[in-house]
Amino acid sequence: MKFRYRNTAKTLAGILLLSASVIACKKDFLEIEDRNGMDSRIWDNEAAVQFLLNETYDLIMPEFPYNNSANNILYASDEDRYSANESIMRKFIGTNGVLVSNDVKYIGQKYQYTTKGDNRYFDIANCNRAIEGLKTSSLAEDVKKELKGQFYALRGLAYFELTRLYGGVPLVLTPQTAESTDIDRPRASARECFQSIVRDLDSAMVLLTGVSYNDANERGKITREAAAAIKGRALLYWASPQFNPLNDSEHPYVPARWDTAYTACKEAYDLCKAKYSLISDYSKLFQLEGASNTEAILVRSYSSKAAKYGHDAEYRVRPLSEGGTQNTSGGNYFAPTWNLVKAYTMKDGTPITQSTSYSQAYFWMNRDPRLDATIAYNGSPWKLSGKASRRQWAYATVTDEGTQLTSTGFYLKKYSSPDLLASAVRYQNDFGGNGMDWVDLRFAEVMINYAECANEVDKIAEAKDMIKQIRQRAGIIEGATGNDYGLGWADTKTEMRDLIMNERMVEFAMEGKRFYDLRRTRRLHELNGLTLDKVNYALKAPITATKAFLETVNAMGVMNRDTINMNNKDSYSKYFAVSVTAAVTSPIVTYDVYYFFALPSTFMNSSPLLEQTIGWDNGTFDPLD
Amino acid sequence: MACAPLLAALLLSETTYATLPGTKVISNVTTKSTARATITGTVKDEKGEPLPGVSVKVKGTTIGTTTDVNGNYKLNIADEKATLVFSFLGYETREVVANGQAIINIQMKESTATLKEVVVNVGYGTKKKDDVMGSVAVLDAKEIEDLPVPNIAAALRNRIAGVGVDAASGKPGSSININIRNAPISEQSKAWGATTDPLFIIDGIIVSKSEFESIDPSMVENVSFLKDASAAIYGAAGAKGVVLITTKKGRPGKPKISYTGYLGYTDAASSPKMLSAYDHAKLLNDGYRIANESASNLFSNAELEQLKSNASKGWFDQLWKVAQTQRHNFNVSGGTEAITFFAGGNYYSEGGNYGGIDYDKYSFRLGTNAKIIEGLTSTVTLSTDFSNRETQTYSNSDNDQNFFQQLVTTPYWIPMAIDGKPVNFSNRNNNPLAVMQSDNYIRNKNQGLTVNASLEYKPKFLKGLSARTQFGLTNRAGNGRQYVPAMTLYNFAPTGQNNSLISNQVTSEYNNSNSSLLLSTSRTTSTQFIAGLGYQRSFGNHSLDWIAATDISQNTTEDLAVKWSNQLMKGVDEFWAFDPSTFVRHNDEVIESAKISYLSRLNYNYNKRYFMEAIARLDYSSNFAPENRAAVFPSVGLGWNVSEENFFRDNVSFVNYFKLRANLGLVGDDRTTARLWQARYDVISDGYLYNESPTTGIRNQIEPNRDITWEKALNLNVGMDASLFHNKLNVTVDVYRRKNYDMFDKGNNENFPMYAGFVAPVVNYQEKTSWGSEFSIGYQSKINKNWGINSSVNFGFSNGIIDRMFYNENQLWDNAFPDLKYQFGTNPRKYTSENYGLKALGMFRTQAEVDSWLQKYPTYTVNGVVPQVGWLYYEDATGDGRITEKDQVLMYNTVSPAVGFGFNLGVTYKSLSLSSNIVARFGGKEFYDSKSREEATNTVNVPTYWNDHWSLDNPNGRFPRFDDPSIKAGWNSTFWAVDGTMIRINNMTLSYKVPKKLLSKFGLSDVRAVATGNNLWTIKNPLPFKDPYSSTIYDYPTLRTISFGLNVGI
């Protein structure tokens, strides 16, 4: 019997041993992977890092105007008569009260980025994590270089956005955790921010050397040239009066910054020249995409066919008659002002104020061809919905536009697609619209940035050479001897500076540059007291009869109005009288504090260490330090 | 007090069986002086009824037999001096020395287990209550098996001190939550899958709440509740308490077959009574008239007259109907000494009262115990269950509020359909009739399968040693289907002076073309393996009981849901009838976890007088980072059985049992579905577009906290158990203090700078101290041969305070009302959102009152509106001269009831027994729920209490005008508070046991008829327009069930 007991004892011990060994064999019993998402393995997986990069592009790359209301302050200026809904934009130019410290929420108000514009620092955190994570990644070196280069460039771009809006901002360059001490750092100075931006873009330029993208499925990625162009742009800001004021006793002017900017902009120009060039037809800047648009350097792609990647710009620029909206109760977007139209020179580059042939009644005659390429006015040809001989009419009570006549007398042609049918104009249910790419930085800007720096470092000839190329492309004629495409009007650095500023306003009309240029050059005060003006096209008396006549279809099958010869003053003035009045009656009021916006209050409240900017809420932070 | 002498008489009477004449065994043995080797006799119970199935054995041998249906037995014995052992479940075992007798008739006495002998499941084994040091409650399933409730949880309301039960609503299949001692949980941990549910264990295996809900009470022997540090044996999962279910097992002997079933009817315990068409219109007119609104807003007199004669019912009354519920179960058990079995099946169904709501389930269970060889036994239990939940109300939410709200708030003058065409009313576009006619449905099916097998070995060579292994596997699969076809409603031309009525003229067809099909599947598998050793032995006065075990478990949950939209083939509810391009993955989740644990428990007592218990458990949980996986949960308990002491026994004779006990220990909670310690990047479908190529993105979802680990709770419990007056009165008192710490908390995002670039991680931070006391007093007695009484009452006091939590001082000013939303450091009985409101000073009953008020306070406005007659006026707490939301202050010192009691009362008379469960709570405040005091409008009807509103004709009305701006704003105030005292009879069961004498002819052993009412009636209801268990009038009402059942046993 004893033997049996021992046997059972053995069995018993066996069972226990077995169960123990079951556990022992499964050493990784408790090592369970998270199957609902990628954990820290992400950095060893090329596709996963690429996914993160895709998301980061989506968050950081500049967007089509009005596509994200959080950004809309960036399009406020004197060139556009804003939608009545855009209260912050209207505050900026003083037609709807003044900006207060919590208005410009570009940094955001939420601790998330599930929606674009929630918080730029969450987007930067993506870059920080990737740059850190890729350091120890097992991916191939060239793969890592290409990915890292883009993250560096995106981070530089993001900090540049923040710095030019707010002055210095907290500079977070490593992944943060609840314990890390970096998060307790206060605002970095603008100088440190620019240093970091330049460093990031330098890194990107090095890492992206030799990297090329396939347009079919990689269009929009940041190239070495793009990084160089952004760097040039950034250093231009650092040298410009916004950060480098001319007459500020506390912050002496530093001319050397212009040398740095000149070098960077020239380098960008030289680099870009090899790959990019001005396209011949200015009117097609946004209509051409891909290889045929040799000018686009920094691009965000949109599509009318891929779900959720479209925009509604076509609807917003078009007249009602062709499927658009210009609803004055809040829907009118992209309404060019008379102020913008005035900036266009005569056809030979002579400013209208200097021209003897300019007449307000026939303002379109003999002007810089970019006016016709960009803006539609009463009687101007505007091919839409494939109608080649179509002309736009904007006279009072024009039947076609019903109650949605443009609020300024002008329409923007830039973001319209001439052959898109009216039925396809709307972007709705995730599809439709024109799908036009947003070109945030094009070769023309590289050239003008270069020109501006060259002028500041007394290389006027180089500057003029750049502007001349721009004007030649625009179709401006050389003109009389000494006119030199209108450049003859500028002899001094100051005159050239003004000329370049005007050239920017015209060349980049409605591209969202004006807001920044006004701030960068500290020219906001020049707007004060002006109004946003519009053009009225009154019908000659007897009004009813005139309107009836104009809208009667003649024997040729076209309306009588379409037979008017726009280049014949009599033909036009027989029916219309042009006058200019204020589109927004309250005059523009801007303030010096707008050169650096206040940090939003939720952002400020999130850390006791943050200083508010001087000029806002008793702020103490000096963005010029 | 008239009942006091009676109570004293009950307590002091000596009417126990031990002293009943004729029940002493020896005196009852009939002796004949013949010496024969065959003994015959009859075994009867104390009422003289024959007892079949009684085991009769010769002591020390295997010779034995059982009594027949008439209680007779016949046994051959070799030795005339042998001792016969009579044993029968539920009766005290008797030994009789044959001593040459030929006929031995015996009467057996029902065993009433005294408090200390109650067997309690304490996890990894059972103990007699005497050996338990902590707060462990036990419920005999018999107490609840007759109740017409869907599951055990629903039957526990007010039965166990410290165990809270909360039902979402009366909707069939809605969830019922159990909470032990108000287990706390931080807002953040809820978001990460933590729960206040206790840990559920069935026969030693951890199960999910679904398993607990699907087991039928008739399959259950008893339920134990570990409320304090006793749960340390479950270590990292015990912090919210443990509920242990022991299922019924078979016993050797003749097979027992029993059937129990009932048929019941359910109706709203209190149905929402809304204003009739006329009263509703009049209420609106009264307000409009005094506000000088133009006639075009009023109902004309002719219309009022017409509405007066309009007897149409509201949508609720039209749809609501009494529904049926039924339960049937069938058990067979029996076996031999070597193998016993228990097999059962049950079916439960509960129909909804409208909208195609239906809930039914059925299950089967088979358990066997086998002695393989001497000392080696195996137990195998298999069970499976199926459930089905259906509705046509567009949503399977627990309270069905969206649908129900329309039923009650639609004015009575709006018919559901005109000429068979469903009315599109007020653009709600989901007219219940149209919804139901559209053939939409939601069907959720669920199926569970469990295997629970164990092997136990008790070797003879070492007495007291046992070894045991157990394996459990639980598998649960579910699939859901929601079909929403397009539907059509009709707009009817508005008519009447104010265009609020509708004509029968169709103006347009309204097509709700949203159609979709959502299919989902889910699967949860958990396995558990336990291996352990035990040693139980007494050496003289020393008793020792020790176990050590290892417990390994693993869980996997997988969910997948996909969705199609845009139905192309009308009337076909299959995916191929839908536009294939609309296919989306709706949800997809896989959650896995594993745990390895080692545990040990040592009990020691000296002479049944001094007790000691020590528990330690070491857990490794996969939910945390490798270096934070291990934790030890110790607990220690001490007990002193005072009544065993001579000085006590000699001096305090009326106390039969008195024990003092205390335990202190640590428990934890690792139950979270999220991997809080790991980074997680979620792949999202829309990333970025390169040219025309859309790409996928990835998004950082959580900020990992590598240090995250268990929530912990340190429990101290001091208790007392006593039995008095011949074990008739049993008292248990527990006092506890619990410190929860390391609770999951999320630093408010605002606590981190916005430039940090992350959302706050979940951290072990929050701390809460809770304290309380629990009292259970039970009394049971036979008054005389026919009458018996058993009753119990339980009550308790508890409170808690949050000692530490993340909150942001800097941003308080950014918070909208109420700024004091954080309960940090405050008394939750006072500082609760319920207690915030305006202090009402009264109602302006005349214009003169308004005028004089405005003279005194010229700037006075309520929510920006100058007061009018018939409106309420309030105290200006901020002193700014106007009433705004900022004037909401704490209204009362406390709104919680002072004390709440749960009573169980039972009376037996011969074969009749009546038992009931009564709940009473006293004091505190109840408020008219925010839904019932919603502003009446031309499209929203309100409860009938609004009939007594202020108007020119009724200046003394109880309620203000409906357009009072404070009502519009939805502000609570003291005006809406009533005394919270509530007395309610939860349920009552009347049963009749047919005498055995009658049954034996039919070969039956037991027949019992039962009538039961659940949620029977509310004696004192603070708010008569709704049931106290319903939170708002827009919820599916609490149901009253009346049922009739039958229990038959063979």
Chain B contact set for A107 (CB, 8 A): 754-755
Which residues, other chains included, contact B290 with Cβ-Cβ below 8 Å and sequence gap of 6+? B868, B869, B870, B951, B952, B961
- What DSSP line would sit under B429-446, residue for residue? ---HHHHHHTT-EEEEEE
Q: Contact at 8 Å (CB) between B441 and B356?
A: yes
Q: Outline where DSSP puts E strands in A399-474.
A: 411-412, 427-428, 431-432, 438-442
Chain B contact set for A20 (CB, 8 A): 550
Q: What pLDDT score does B9 carry? A: 41
Chain B contact set for A170 (CB, 8 A): 753, 755
C-alpha distance from A176 to closest chain B C-alpha (Å)? 6
Per residue in B862-904, pLDDT (tens digit) is 888 889 999 999 998 888 888 888 888 888 888 888 888 999 9
- 8-state DSSP, B290: H
Instruction: Give the chain A residue nearest B593 (alpha carbons).
Output: A32
Closest CB to B629 among A30, A34, A606:
A30
User: For B268, phi and psi rounded to 5 degrees?
Assistant: -60, 130
With an 8 Å Cβ cutoff, are B678 and A39 in contact?
Answer: yes
Q: What pLDDT score does A109 carry? A: 72
Distance CA(A388)–CA(A376), nearest Å, equals 14
Count Cβ–Cβ pairs < 8 Å, chain A vs chain B. Answer: 218
C-alpha distance from A19 to closest chain B C-alpha (Å)? 7
Chain B contact set for A172 (CB, 8 A): 755-757
Cα torsion through B136, B141, B142, B144, rounded to 10:
100
Distance CA(A273)–CA(B991), nearest Å, equals 99
Distance CA(B661)–CA(B76), nearest Å, equals 50
With an 8 Å Cβ cutoff, are B758 and A602 in contact?
Answer: no
Per residue in A184-235, pLDDT (tens digit) is 678 999 999 999 999 999 999 999 999 999 999 999 999 999 999 999 999 9
Q: What pLDDT score does B313 carry? A: 84
CB atoms within 10 A of CB A474: 23
Q: Contact at 8 Å (CB) between A276 and A283?
A: no
Instruction: State yes or no: pLDDT of A91 exceeds 50.
Output: yes
Max Cα distance, chain A (Å): 131
C-alpha distance from B454 to closest chain A C-alpha (Å)? 13
Distance CA(B121)–CA(B226), nearest Å, equals 9
Q: Contact at 8 Å (CB) between A114 and A364?
A: no
> What tokens does B144 get?
């609840």
Distance CA(B405)–CA(B394), nearest Å, equals 13
With an 8 Å Cβ cutoff, are A607 and B698 in contact?
Answer: no
- What DSSP line would sit under B22-55, residue for residue? T--HHHH--------SEEEEEEE-TTS-B-TT-E
Instruction: State yes or no: pLDDT of A329 exceeds 70.
Output: no
Instruction: State yes or no: pLDDT of A158 exceeds 50.
Output: yes
Closest CB to B747 among A20, A29, A178:
A178
Question: Is the CB of A20 inside 8 Å of chain B's CB atoms?
Answer: yes
Distance CA(A616)–CA(A613), nearest Å, equals 6
Distance CA(A398)–CA(A375), nearest Å, equals 18
Q: What pLDDT score does A404 carry? A: 85
Distances from the Cα of B294 to the Cα of B289, B300, B411, angstroms: 8, 12, 22
User: For B1038, phi and psi rounded to 5 degrees?
Assistant: -65, 140
Per residue in A562-615, pLDDT (tens digit) is 999 999 999 999 999 999 999 888 899 999 999 999 998 888 888 888 999 999
Q: What pLDDT score does B507 carry? A: 87
With an 8 Å Cβ cutoff, are B698 and A42 in contact?
Answer: yes
Residues 519-558 of A with CB under 8 A from B: none
C-alpha distance from B465 to closest chain A C-alpha (Å)? 11
Q: Contact at 8 Å (CB) between B12 and B725?
A: yes
User: For A170, phi and psi rounded to 5 degrees?
Assistant: -55, 135
Instruction: State yes or no: pLDDT of A96 exceeds 70.
Output: yes
Chain B contact set for A305 (CB, 8 A): 692
Residues 66-125 of A with CB under 8 A from B: 107-108, 111-112, 114, 119, 121-122, 124-125
**pTM, two decimal places:** 0.81
C-alpha distance from B231 to closest chain A C-alpha (Å)? 23
C-alpha distance from A126 to closest chain B C-alpha (Å)? 8
Listed as ranges, residues in chain B with pLDDT below 70 are: 1-36, 89-90, 111-116, 427-429, 747-748, 807-823
The three-class DSSP label of residue B912 is: strand
Q: Contact at 8 Å (CB) between A420 and A314?
A: yes
The radius of gyration of chain A's CA atoms, rounded to the nearest angstrom, is: 29
The residue of A7, A11, A111 whose CB has the most chain B CBs within 10 angstroms, and thus the best one to mutate to test that interface, is A111
Distance CA(B706)–CA(B625), nearest Å, equals 6
The residue of A1, A6, A23, A35 whose CB has the most chain B CBs within 10 angstroms, and thus the best one to mutate to test that interface, is A35
In the block, residue with structure tokens 């020792």? B544
With an 8 Å Cβ cutoff, are B594 and A29 in contact?
Answer: yes
A166 sits in which H/E element: helix A141-166
Distance CA(B651)–CA(A198), nearest Å, equals 93
Question: Is the CB of A21 inside 8 Å of chain B's CB atoms?
Answer: no
User: For A225, phi and psi rounded to 5 degrees?
Assistant: -65, -40
Nearest CA among B365, B364, B346, B67 for reference residue B1005: B67
For CA atoms A317, A323, A326, A332, the dihedral sign is: negative
CB atoms within 10 A of CB B1027: 24
> What tokens does A554 get?
């003649």
Distance CA(A285)–CA(B967), nearest Å, equals 59
Q: What pLDDT score does B14 carry? A: 40
Q: What pLDDT score does B760 carry? A: 83
Q: What pLDDT score does A84 carry? A: 59
With an 8 Å Cβ cutoff, are A178 and B752 in contact?
Answer: yes
Instruction: Give the chain A residue nearest B461 (alpha carbons).
Output: A5
Question: Is the CB of A5 inside 8 Å of chain B's CB atoms?
Answer: yes
Burial of A329 (0-12, 13-18, 19+ CB in 10 A): exposed
Per residue in A43-79, pLDDT (tens digit) is 999 999 999 999 999 999 999 988 877 677 888 899 9
Q: Contact at 8 Å (CB) between B658 and B647?
A: no
Burial of B342 (0-12, 13-18, 19+ CB in 10 A): buried
Angle between helices A443-456 and A493-507 (to 10 degrees): 170
Distance CA(B158)–CA(B793), nearest Å, equals 9
Distance CA(B888)–CA(B891), nearest Å, equals 8
Q: What pLDDT score does B33 carry? A: 41
C-alpha distance from B668 to closest chain A C-alpha (Å)? 18
Instruction: State yes or no: pLDDT of A24 exceeds 50.
Output: no
Q: Contact at 8 Å (CB) between A202 and A209?
A: no
Q: Contact at 8 Å (CB) between B103 and B41?
A: yes
Helical segments of A459-578, H only? 460-474, 493-507, 514-520, 543-550, 569-573
Distance CA(B550)–CA(B627), nearest Å, equals 21
The single-letter code of the amino acid at A398 is V
Q: Contact at 8 Å (CB) between B408 and B1034?
A: yes
- 8-state DSSP, B578: B
Phi-psi region of B139 (alpha: psi -120 to 50; beta: other; left: phi over 0): beta
The three-class DSSP label of residue B884 is: coil
> What tokens does B401 get?
């509020």
C-alpha distance from B629 to closest chain A C-alpha (Å)? 9
Closest CB to A19 among B469, B681, B810:
B469
